Amino acid sequence: MTVKRFIVRSMAKLTKRDIVVAISNQTGMVQHQVFDVVQRTLDHITDSLASNVAVELRNFGIFQPRLTKPRVGRNPNQPGSSFVIPSRATVKFKAGKIMRQRVEKLSRELKEAADKKATDQNGK
C-alpha cells in the first residue's frame, strides 16, 4: 500500500507506462506482456463505448456513452454573433463507491492541509 501512495503522490500524473511498470514489479510478469494486457483492456473498453455499450467496473466506476444536447455558442471576439454547437457523443464517468470514498478522504486531507497553511501564513 505504501508503494501505491508513493507512486501516486510523487508524480504529476499517472501514465499507462507507470501502470505497466507497477504491475510488472508487483507480479513479476514481463513488462511487454503486462503492456499487452493493459492495452487490450483499454481497447475493449473503447470498443464497447463506441458500440454504445456501458462499461461497469465494480468499485471503480461506470463509463456510459451519451449524446450531448445541441447548444448555442458565442465567439467572444465577435459580440452578437452566435452559432449552434451540434450534439455529439461523449463518455460520462460515474465513480464507484470505493473510489468515491478514497477521493473524498483525499479531499478532506487537502482541505486540512490548505487550512493549516492559511493558519500558518496568518500567524506569521
pTM confidence score: 0.71
Q: What is the pLDDT of residues 23-61, one digit of tens each?
A: 999 999 999 999 999 999 999 999 999 999 999 999 999
Residue 124 reports pLDDT greater than 70: no
| Identity of the amino acid at 116 | K
Q: What is the pLDDT of residues 81-92, one digit of tens each?
A: 888 999 999 999
pLDDT for the residue 91: 96
CA distance 86 to 74: 13
Position 74 confidence tier, pLDDT thresholds 50, 70, 90: confident
Q: Which long-range contacts (CB under 8 A, 24 or more apart) does 65-72 make?
A: 65/89, 65/90, 65/91, 65/92, 66/90, 66/91, 66/92
